[in-house]
């Protein structure tokens, strides 16, 4: 009983924090599916990565706030902030996730595990040989609570995203990937430095301070 009461209190505290979070409130006003949109927005506003006409791959896309942000960047001016009809969306967005994804007009979605060869093949088929301008990855595995296991799962996903990016990005393309401080972090920074000409570490204001997440951005693929 005592444990139940404590967990109820924690849930209530989380809910209160969540509801009063300015980014949650802003996301509701702006029609974003989650506050995560503002993390990508901040990174993009700082580094100017996303431009109309690009091909962008969104890994770990569900519920879809990053894809919504991308779509709004690609919407024809007269279509306003993405709420209006797509018309000719000026850009390509391919989103991928393990979980289902409520459709967004103009966004092509692939459901599956990015670690599986068949899913990667589906993504490559969707690209049909087109080089990619930007890969964004917000993928986060379910955590077990065991630091070494979780570190290995996180690193594996990011290594695959780096591998995919080094094969499919344009020479001046970019990868934005969520990483976590802790086990494996330094090796991931080294991996980015080995693969990209410029590497930035960005902690957007929208990323909660108490969260160990941060974003690695690699710009310009080396050896191309």
Ligand X SMILES: C[S@@+](CC[C@H](N)C(=O)[O-])C[C@H]1O[C@@H](n2cnc3c(N)ncnc32)[C@H](O)[C@@H]1O
Residues 75-134 that bind ligand X (CB under 6 A): 96-99, 113-115
Binding part of the chain for ligand X, among 16-24, 55-63, 165-173, 183-191 by CB under 6 A, reads 55-63
Paired strand residues for 16: none
Q: Indicate the residue among 126 and 193 with the shorter CB distance to ligand X.
A: 126
d(CA 48, CA 75): 17
Closest CA to 195 of 180, 175, 214: 175
CB of 35 to ligand X, least distance (A): 9
Closest CA to 96 of 79, 108, 82: 108
Q: What is the DSSP letter of 141?
A: P
Q: Does residue 178 carry a catalytic annotation?
A: yes
- Token pair, residue 207, equals 């990323």
Other residues' Cβ atoms within 10 Å of the Cβ of residue 80: 11
Residues 145-184 that bind ligand X (CB under 6 A): 157
Q: Indicate the residue among 113 and 163 with the shorter CB distance to ligand X.
A: 113
Q: Which helix (H) or strand (E) segment is 98 a member of? A: none
Residue of 63, 76, 151, 220 interacting with ligand X (CB under 6 A): 63
In the set 178, 197, 203, 205, the catalytic residue is 178
| Residue numbers at the binding site for ligand X (CB under 6 A) | 33-34, 36, 60-66, 96-99, 113-115, 138-141, 157
Instruction: Give the annotated binding-site residues for S-adenosyl-L-methionine.
Output: 64, 66, 97, 113, 138
């Amino acid at each position: 009983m005592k444990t139940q009461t404590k967990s109820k209190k924690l849930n209530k505290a989380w809910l209160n924090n969540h509801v009063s979070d300015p980014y949650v409130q802003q996301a509701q006003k702006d029609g974003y599916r989650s506050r995560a949109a503002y993390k990508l927005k901040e990174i993009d506003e700082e580094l100017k990565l996303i431009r109309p006409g690009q091909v962008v791959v969104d890994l770990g896309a569900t519920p879809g706030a990053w894809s919504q942000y991308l779509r709004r960047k690609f919407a024809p001016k007269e279509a306003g902030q993405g709420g209006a009809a797509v018309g000719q969306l000026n850009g390509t967005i391919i989103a991928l996730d393990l979980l289902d994804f409520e459709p967004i007009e103009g966004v092509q979605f692939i459901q599956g595990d990015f670690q599986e060869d068949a899913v990667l093949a589906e993504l490559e088929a969707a690209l049909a040989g087109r080089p990619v301008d930007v890969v964004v990855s917000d993928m986060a595995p379910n955590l077990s609570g065991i630091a070494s296991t979780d570190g290995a799962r996180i690193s594996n996903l990011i290594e695959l995203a780096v591998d995919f990016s080094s094969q499919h990005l344009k020479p001046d393309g970019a990868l934005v990937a969520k990483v976590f401080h802790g086990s494996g972090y330094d090796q991931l920074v080294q991996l980015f430095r080995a693969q990209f000409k410029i590497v930035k570490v960005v902690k957007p204001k929208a990323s909660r301070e108490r969260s160990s997440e941060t974003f690695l951005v690699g710009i310009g693929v080396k050896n191309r």
